[in-house]
Each structure stands twice: as structure tokens, then as C-alpha cells.
């Protein structure tokens, strides 16, 4: 079993749709959680951190459920520019960051 698992998709949605991505992790001692975005042939870039209380950044909402070892990302009113691969990242004490394989999103007109 992988340390961080994501549904690879692809998710194909129309503009304006709401889409949710899920991620599970196996190390219960994990300390920090993030969502990264990666565009084709580019490096991953930090999208947002994920906190237990849940956090929102504009159209993006991230949630963490430590008991279930589950992370989610919700995108509302999706735009064409949201098309990318979204990577779930889990960081353990000591600094090791493990990436999921990513979920591919395509937003269509």
C-alpha cells in the first residue's frame, strides 16, 4: 500500500462545476499536509496548506480528518485555468514529504 493514495482521475468537468479530490495517508504520525498543483511539464507549486479546522482560499477549500487519515480539496466554480494535476502531500516529523501520484483535472468550456 502506498503511503499517500489519491484517485488518479481524470476528472473532466464543465466550467462552473464543483469538484472534490480525496487523499488518504497511512502514517498516523504525519504532521503537516498540503495540496500542490502541477501543470504539464512544470514543477509542482504549493496551492495551500491543510489544517484540521479546515481552511479556505477563495474557491478552494481543504479539509483534514486525522481520525480517518483523510484529506480533501474542494474547488468551486471551476475555471479553465484550474486544469492541472493536484498532488496531495504529507509531511512527517523530521521533514520527509511524501507525494501522492496526483489527480488530473480537466475543466472544459
Partner 1 sequence: DAGVIQSPRHEVTEMGQEVTLRCKPISGHDYLFWYRQTMMRGLELLIYFNNNVPIDDSGMPEDRFSAKMPNASFSTLKIQPSEPRDSAVYFCASSFGQMSIFGQGTRLTVV
The residues binding partner 1 (CB under 8 A) are: 32, 34, 42-46, 49, 87, 89, 91, 94-102
**Rounded least distance, CB 96 to partner 1, Å:** 6
Q: How far apart are CA 39 and CA 30, in angstroms?
A: 26
Tell me the closest approach of the beta carbon of residue 44 to partner 1, in angstroms. 5
- To partner 1, the closest distance from the beta carbon of 95 in angstroms equals 5
C-alpha cell at 92: 512527517
Give the angle subtended at the CA of 61 by the CAs of 56 and 66, to the nearest 5°: 100
Q: Which is nearer to partner 1, 2 or 79 (CB)?
A: 2
Please state, in angstroms and rounded to a whole number, the distance separating the CA atoms of residues 77 and 60: 9
Amino acid at each position: 500500500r502506498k503511503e499517500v493514495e489519491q484517485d488518479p482521475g481524470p476528472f473532466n468537468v464543465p466550467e462552473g462545476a464543483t469538484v472534490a479530490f480525496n487523499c488518504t495517508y497511512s502514517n498516523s504520525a504525519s504532521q503537516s499536509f498540503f495540496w500542490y498543483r502541477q501543470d504539464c511539464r512544470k514543477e509542482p507549486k504549493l496551492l495551500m496548506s491543510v489544517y484540521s479546522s479546515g481552511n479556505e482560499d477563495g474557491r478552494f477549500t481543504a479539509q483534514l480528518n486525522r481520525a480517518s487519515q483523510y484529506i480533501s480539496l474542494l474547488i468551486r466554480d471551476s475555471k479553465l485555468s484550474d486544469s492541472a494535476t493536484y498532488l496531495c502531500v504529507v509531511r512527517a516529523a523530521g521533514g520527509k514529504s511524501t507525494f501522492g501520484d496526483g489527480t488530473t483535472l480537466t475543466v472544459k468550456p
